[in-house]
Amino acid sequence: MSYRSDFKEKIQRYETGEQERILQALSWREKLFMDQDPSGKAGKLPLAHPLGVAAILTDLNLDADTIVAALLHDSLEKTALSAGAIEDRFGRDVGLMVEGVTRIADISAKSKTLQEAENIRKMFFAMVTDIRVIFIKLADKLHTMRTLDELDRGQYKTKAQECLDIYAPLADRLGISWIKDELEDLALKYLNREVYLQIKEIVALKRGERQNFLDMAKEDIRREAEAAGIPISVESRAKHFYSIYQKMRKRNKAMGDLYDLFGIRILCDSIENCYTLLGLVHRLWKPLDGRFKDYIAMPKSNGYQSLHTTVMAVGGNLLEIQLRTRNMHRIAEHGIASHWLYKKGGVKGIGRSADISLVNRLRDWKQIESESGVNRVSESFLDDIKRELLKDSIYVFTPQGKVIELPAGATPIDFAYHIHTAIGEHCAGAKADGAIIPLSSELQNTQVVEILTTTNARPHVNWLRTVRTAKARSKIRSWLQQNDDSIIIEKNIVAKKKPSLPEAPPLPEKETEPPESRPLRPQILKTDTALLHVRVEDEKNMMIHFAKCCHPVTGDPIIGYVSRGRGIIIHRKNCSNLANIPDFLERKIETEWENADSVLVKRFKVEARLSTDLFSEIEGAVRKHQGHLIEGRLEETSVNRLTGFFTMQLEQSEDLKRVLKNIRGIPAVFSIRTLS
């Protein structure tokens, strides 16, 4: 059979003894399936898949143990074979890898169930023990996507969406760009076949139109490099289909309006030559402002290094150019696998610790889990994984110049807890590039971040809605549960305990009785000071506090005064307590709502039947149109009836009708009306 002979050809790169072990595993697998199905009718397909998976891993230059494990990766679930039998025949590493892959069950990317979260948890924590398990899983998914036409059409979209949500981002985080690109393209093919075929046709047509231009550009580059005495290789490349699709959506353009479907990649032998060649390219053609990225000085978390620039080339054509060394190109294609160290009977791992930040962060997660004594996951775990581990990262600096990697959207509070738990717990303010910023603001790439601490500062419950990292969220929840007896925390909802009643126990993880059998505790979304910005005279982003006596909200006439030791306190102008403040006239300061004219802030009232999920459903309806709940309260006002008051911020006035329509569409809602 051709696929078997092709595989034998692929493993010629291994030593003779390793080839024999690989072929022994292949023969053993064939015998296992023949024993299970003596007719041999089921033998062809089960053999084609593991051979395909093993061939992909051979392309990544992984060790013989990984290839053997790939050939046997599904044998535990499809035959009567035991992990012990595999270990006896091929060694402990192979046995553990096969067992690790078997434990990772199929996942459904759309249903965020506890079982799904637990499966993903197993998969990611398997990387901490032996990252080769994940290489096998990625190869398994890629070969499945290549042969998806052989499966039931009903499984297409589920498996394709799963690849977009989990496996393509995972391949990207591990730096294996060709697997990431192919998974995304195949996913697009099955999720939106019409668009996929249109892009494929456009790329083929554009290639012919652009070939002369690309050839001329490459020749110009070669000529300049030769004059500078720098040996290079230059190649043109077509962007992969999914990236084109994303660009169409981002720029809101039709396929025929896209002209930068091709780029040029220049490979050389040293970092110094990369920068020299960059100068030569910019001398040939004018660079576009804001389109230069230096991933050599600031590598991506997966180890990717390259210089990216976009220039206005011949005839006004935009041209994207990448410059990198040949070693950087090898890392860009194979990622972490390019640093694989394989020593017989000895160490296994990755060549440089800098290239396994994902694994190190997973170790941190596992440590947090161990310290908290919790070895099961909530439904939010999948969202945490996608947000923190599979999305883009940012890099910020400490004042001492240390580089800190955080997920995009991270705040100064995340930064503080990353440095040390004690810094996070005593965080009172933050500076970015020397300027004071709100603790809830999103950090930007390459900022120098400084945390301001005081001994009397402590975590605040609103921080749970601000932070983006699992470590910060876990530490804040732990501190609040141990030190603040006035609140009960469940997910992102805070319930105030009634002082006249005995202390209520923490909300259980799972409902043990119907919600109708007991009163619903008031659900409170405390004022989000991150959105209620105040302008103090001509200054913005000052460190301020809202007075608890009059609780000023957006739109109220307000006045501030400079207190001793607490900064600026904001009151309503008609607050009765102002008369009791010593030296108020001398210490008062004019203030106003900074965002009163720039955004739409609306209050609304909701009447609904009893529902434990209503709070989160309302918040989801607002967020669907880029809105944000600033504050809110939801409580049971009569038997099986809820009343809620909320304040929301919207980016555009036309979003108001859409948000109100979404809230009216919530099954539990009887009525909704705006109050301001």
Q: What is the pLDDT of residue 324?
A: 95
pLDDT value at residue 121 = 65
Is pLDDT above 90 for 408? no
Query: Which residues are paired to 349 by β-bridges?
Result: 341
Helix, strand, coil distribution of the chain in percent, nearest 5 = 50, 20, 35
Higher pLDDT, 97 or 554: 97
Ranking 399-413, 559-573, 589-603 by mean pLDDT, the lowest is 589-603
Q: Find, among 430, 412, 414, 428, the residue nearest to 468 by Cα.
A: 414
Residue 538 has what pLDDT? 47
* Predicted pLDDT of residue 164: 84
Comparing C-alpha atoms, which of 45, 58, 47, 3 is closest to residue 25?
47
What letter does residue 239 receive in the DSSP assignment? P
Distance of CA 399 to the CA centre of its chain: 26
For the cut 60, the answer to whether the pLDDT of residue 493 exceeds it is no
Q: What is the largest CA-CA distance in the chain?
A: 97
What's the pLDDT at 381? 55
Distances (CA, A) of 593 to 43, 434, 539, 606: 72, 24, 12, 26
Whole-number pLDDT of residue 367:
65
Distance CA 62, CA 338 (A): 9
The rounded distance, in Å, linking the Cα atoms of 261 and 244 is 7
The pLDDT of residue 555 is 61
Closest C-alpha among 332, 348, 335 to residue 170: 335
In angstroms, the Cα distances linking 304 to 173, 247, 360, 373, 644 are 10, 21, 17, 36, 49
Average pLDDT, the chain: 76
Per mean pLDDT, which of 95-104, 139-148, 339-348 is the most reliable?
A: 139-148
Asked if residue 58 has pLDDT above 60, the reply is yes
The mean pLDDT of 137-160, rounded to a whole number, is 80
pLDDT band, very low/low/confident/very high, at 579 (cuts 50, 70, 90): confident
> Residue 382: its pLDDT value, please?
56
pLDDT of residue 466: 84
**Does 293 have pLDDT greater than 80?**
yes
pLDDT for the residue 676? 60
Among candidate residues 134, 141, 136, the one with its CA nearest the CA of residue 164: 141
Whether the per-residue pLDDT at 659 is higher than 80: the answer is yes
Angle at 279 between CA 276 and CA 282, to 5 degrees: 155
The Cα–Cα gap between 600 and 595 comes to 9
Rounded CA separation 14/455 (Å): 61
Mean pLDDT for the stretch of residues 363-386: 57
Contact (CB, 8 A) for 503 and 440: no
Q: Look at residue 616 in the predicted model and tell me its pLDDT.
A: 75
Question: Of 335 and 144, which is predicted with more confidence?
Answer: 144
Q: Is the pLDDT of residue 647 over 60?
A: yes
H or E segment and range at residue 450: strand 449-453
pLDDT category of residue 147 using cuts at 50, 70 and 90: confident
Give the residue with greater pLDDT, 528 vs 355: 528
Tokens describing residue 29 = 């697998």
Q: How confident is the model at residue 270 (pLDDT cuts 50, 70, 90)?
A: very high
DSSP run (H or E) holding 116: helix 114-129
pLDDT tens column, 224-268: 999 999 999 999 887 888 888 887 777 666 665 665 678 899 999
pLDDT for 390: 63
pLDDT at residue number 249: 75
Least confident of 394-408, 444-458, 472-486, 498-512: 498-512
The pLDDT score that the predictor gives to residue 285 is 93
Average pLDDT, integer, range 635-653: 79
Q: What is the per-residue pLDDT across 180-226, written as a single tens digit (0 to 9) for each?
A: 999 999 999 988 888 888 888 888 877 777 788 888 999 999 999 99
* Count of CA atoms in the C-beta half-sphere (13 A) of 228: 21
**Which carries the bigger pLDDT value, residue 258 or residue 326?**
326
- pLDDT for 286 equals 92
Domains of the chain (ranges plus CATH)?
2-193 (1.10.3210.10), 194-334 (3.30.460.10), 410-484 (3.10.20.30), 534-593 (no CATH), 600-674 (3.30.70.260)
Percent of residues, the chain, with pLDDT higher than 70: 72
Contact 384, 491 (CB under 8 A): no
The predicted pLDDT at position 2 comes to: 63
Strands (E), 196-272: 233-238, 262-268
Residue 351 has pLDDT above 50, yes or no: no
Can you give the pLDDT at residue 562?
76
Most confident of 5-14, 116-125, 348-357: 5-14
Q: Which residue has the higher pLDDT, 388 or 176?
A: 176
Provide the pLDDT for residue 506. Answer: 46
* pLDDT value at 593 more than 70: no
Most confident of 289-298, 520-529, 652-661: 289-298
Instruction: Note the residue count of the chain.
Output: 676
Q: Which of 34-43, 156-165, 306-315 has the lowest mean pLDDT?
A: 34-43
Phi, psi of 120 (to 5 degrees): -70, -40
Closest CA to 491 of 505, 475, 503, 477: 477
Whether the per-residue pLDDT at 364 is higher than 90: the answer is no
Q: Using alpha carbons, select from 185, 186, 161 the residue that is nearest to residue 245.
A: 185
Q: Assign 376 a pLDDT band (cuts: 50, 70, 90).
A: very low
Mean pLDDT of 511-536: 48
Task: Return phi, psi of residue 47, to 5°.
Answer: -80, -35
378 touches 470 (CB < 8 A): no
